[in-house]
Amino acid sequence: MKLTLQQLEAHLWGAAKILRGKTAGQDYKNYILSLMFYKRLCDQWEWEADDAIAEQERQQDRPFTEAQKAIFRARGEHRYDIPDGARWGDIKAVSVNIGEVLTDAMRAVANANAELRGVFTVDWNQPAPDGSGKPLIANEVVHALVQHFDEHDLSNRNVPADVLGRAYEYLIKMFADDAGAKAGEFFTPPEVVDTLVRILEPRPGDTIYDPTAGSGGMLVHAADYLREHGHLPTHARYFAQEMNWGNAAIGKINSVLHGLEADIRAGNSTITDPLFLQDGEVRKFSLVLANFPFSDDYWWLKPEQQTDDKTRKARLQKEIFGSEGYKDPYGRFGRGTGFQAPPANYGDYAFILHILASLSDNGRAGIVCPQGVLFRGQPEIEEETGDFDAKGKPKVKRRKADDEHLIRRALLESRLIDAVVSLPLNVFYGAGVPACLLILRRQRPVERRDRVLLIYAARHYREISAQNELRPQDVMRMLVHYHAYGDASKAAGLVEEHRGRIHSEIARREADEVGRLEAEYQPHADRLTDLNNTLQEAHEKQRAAATKREKTKAASVLTKLRKQRDKIGEKVAERDERIAEARRSADDDRKDVSAVSQELVALYSDPDELFKHARVVDMDEVEENEFNLNVPRYVDTFEPEARMDVVESLSKFRDAETARMEAERTLAAMLREAGYASD
């Protein structure tokens, strides 16, 4: 019987628990994800061989001998080559130095398949830092992991590719939750990615690029969108760069499991060493999705220089920027490009301009940015010096415009910014600064060319522990506002489209969560069934007992069994309550989506109310605001106090006054009775 998604998730997270705390920091995620992928490759190789042998036996109408099967296996065709000596059975057969054997096997698989180069970055035989010569991960732990993974066949025979891909994403999300602030290096919340993808609507034929890929979630979501609309994910092509080798490995595995065959390159900074080049310039793509490192103050340094001390970095800054500023050898910004070079202490516009340079003539981009890119930097101004000329007039000096102001102005004057969406605080792991979505388009509809859509989405979210979360209805608000782009006639149709889709998504998430809980508590449920059967047998023995001693012994057994049953019953009751809570939460989300659907339709019939959520602004107004795109400048984000009902307030005041007077009379009477006051 094939594994369900929830059973597979429980199995994979069980492996993570075995290794958790036994590696440096959060590195255990790389070990678990690579081991899972290696097991998948090996199991798939075996299944392909078995399937091919069965087909040959059917065609020849005779069974093969074991020797014939071995020959056929050695020369059979496979999606990936797993060399002899590097298969799962070879790992299982080892009892000592398993980490060394496993590392060698993974490297052999990577060397045999060009597509898998860079996927297996972990060293299971890495020595412990105490100089003892022992491995960091003890042989017993590696053995326990091998035994755990051996419990299930991870080939297509037992786990369909789509199920394995979804389980892998679940595992990445669990690792991100566990990593907390550090998760921002490799994980973008799926609700944010989904919003960007649905705004930009990937199409067959697109070349999709992520310049700071992390675990590859942007590419996977783009492929999912294509599937949802009836296309194969291979109808688009996928490209990415990631500086961190470990994160890139996770992304490569993610893309393989989802059938994307993405070209993911690693080890270099996208800014200092872009790896997708064509004729000396950065390569062009039709769709770019990105969540780059916010406000990187050393964006101009190569990775190996990032570890230098401050003095060395200061010298490098003088060398790299010189008297004329940063010279970009790839023509993305600086002299002759039309865009000022970004300041040395803020790398946000370095990434934005790289993305712009990477767009084809009809390209579009969705970028997660800190909100500072919307307003940082001053325009050119004249300032009084405090001195006076011969006629007594104040002397003034002209101060140049800041770099970021000039870049933002150039983007707006080039009509490249299509929309800005301000997001709630704390939506991203480890990023407490306010963030936004910046939508760029090379070619914009004529009616939108001299306008910019600004959406204020910061007030709508769900609070969860140390982080905020975008709910389905919050995503729907942003999508309706973007696709309507101020056109009230489109609102009702968009609302209905997204409402139906999100209701289906809520139902799927509810089923996933219920199934996940059932899988988690299944051992307890099975144990409870066994205990109830044992109790029934014990009751029968008690009834059949002939002597007092036998009856006493049977009663004692029954008491112990009842205690065990009650304890296990508490766990099953806990499961039932958590399932009920998951269903209540899904019902609440459905109700909220329906309520927000009605609210959105009403908003687009009331311009004054819509003005508090989204607004299409003419470029003339943006210019009047000195090209500042801070959303509250244009959208009414003021939260008015609740209106007071004067009649009701006066009534409450009179009631309170009456109660006060009655209390005074009661106190005076008590004091008189005690002899402390006279009439």
pLDDT in tens, 495-538: 999 999 999 999 999 999 999 899 889 999 999 999 999 988 88
Percent of the chain with pLDDT over 90: 58
Half-sphere exposure of 374 (CA within 13 A, CB side): 26
* pLDDT value of residue 77: 75
**Residue 538 and residue 314: Cα distance in Å, rounded?**
80
pTM: 0.86
Bridge-partner residues for 365, per DSSP? 288, 440
How many Cα atoms are found within 13 Å in the side-chain-facing hemisphere of 94?
A: 22
Average pLDDT, the chain: 89
* Residue in this structure with the two tokens 């609309």, named with its chain if needed: 229
Is residue 345 within 8 A of residue 291, CB to CB? The reply is no
Instruction: Tell me how far apart the alpha carbons of residues 408 and 428 are, in angstroms, rounded to a whole number.
Output: 24
Query: Residue 74's pLDDT band (boundaries 50, 70, 90)?
Result: low
Is 568 exposed, middle or buried (CB count within 10 Å of its CB: 0-12, 13-18, 19+)?
buried
Q: How far apart are CA 183 and CA 175, in angstroms?
A: 8
Question: Is the distance from CB of 450 to CB of 619 less than 8 angstroms?
Answer: yes
- Can 5-159 and 184-486 be said to share one CATH topology? no
Residue pair 600/477 in contact by the 8 Å Cβ criterion? yes
Lowest mean pLDDT among 52-56, 235-239, 274-278: 52-56
Instruction: Report residue 590 as tokens.
Output: 């459905």
Name the burial class of residue 109, with classes exposed (0-12), middle (13-18) and buried (19+) by CB atoms within 10 angstroms of its CB: buried
Closest CA to 301 of 317, 315, 323: 317
Q: Where are the domains of the chain?
A: 5-159, 184-486, 510-603, 644-679
Range with lowest mean pLDDT among 402-416, 468-482, 554-568: 554-568
Asked if residues 371 and 435 have their Cβ atoms less than 8 Å apart, the reply is: yes
CA angle 125, 92, 258 (to 5 degrees): 80
pLDDT at 408 over 90: yes
- What are the residues whose beta carbons fall under 8 Å from the beta carbon of 323, sequence distance 6 or more? none
Confidence band, pLDDT 50/70/90 cuts, at residue 431:
low
> In whole angstroms, what is the distance from residue 461 CA to residue 425 CA?
9
Question: Residue 456 — very low, low, confident or very high, per pLDDT cuts 50/70/90?
Answer: very high
Which residue, 359, 378, 376, is CA-closest to 439? 359
Decide: helix, strand or coil at residue 396. strand
- Residues 4-36 have pLDDT tens digits of 888 899 899 999 899 887 776 557 888 999 999
Taken as a whole, the chain contains a residue count of 679
- β-bridge mates for residue 240, sequence order: 210, 264
Strands in 31-148 per DSSP E: none
**Type of residue numbered 503:** H
- Predicted confidence band at 665 (pLDDT cuts at 50, 70, 90)? confident
Domain 5-159 adopts which CATH fold?
Ferritin (1.20.1260)
Return the closest-CA partner of residue 289 out of 377, 339, 225: 225
φ and ψ at residue 566, rounded to 5 degrees: -65, -40
- 469 beta partners: 462
**pLDDT tens, 94-137?**
999 999 999 999 999 999 999 899 899 899 998 888 888 888 89
Amino acid at 111: N
Residue 389 and residue 407: Cα distance in Å, rounded?
Answer: 35
pLDDT tops 70 at residue 645: no
406: pLDDT strictly greater than 90: yes
Mean pLDDT to the nearest integer, 640-656: 71
CATH T-level fold of 184-486: Rossmann fold (3.40.50)
Higher pLDDT, 311 or 570: 570
Residues 128 and 99 sit within 8 Å (Cβ to Cβ) = no
Residue type, 658: T
- Residue the block writes with tokens 């039309």: 338
- Give the pLDDT score at 455: 97
What's the mean pLDDT in 391-405? Answer: 79
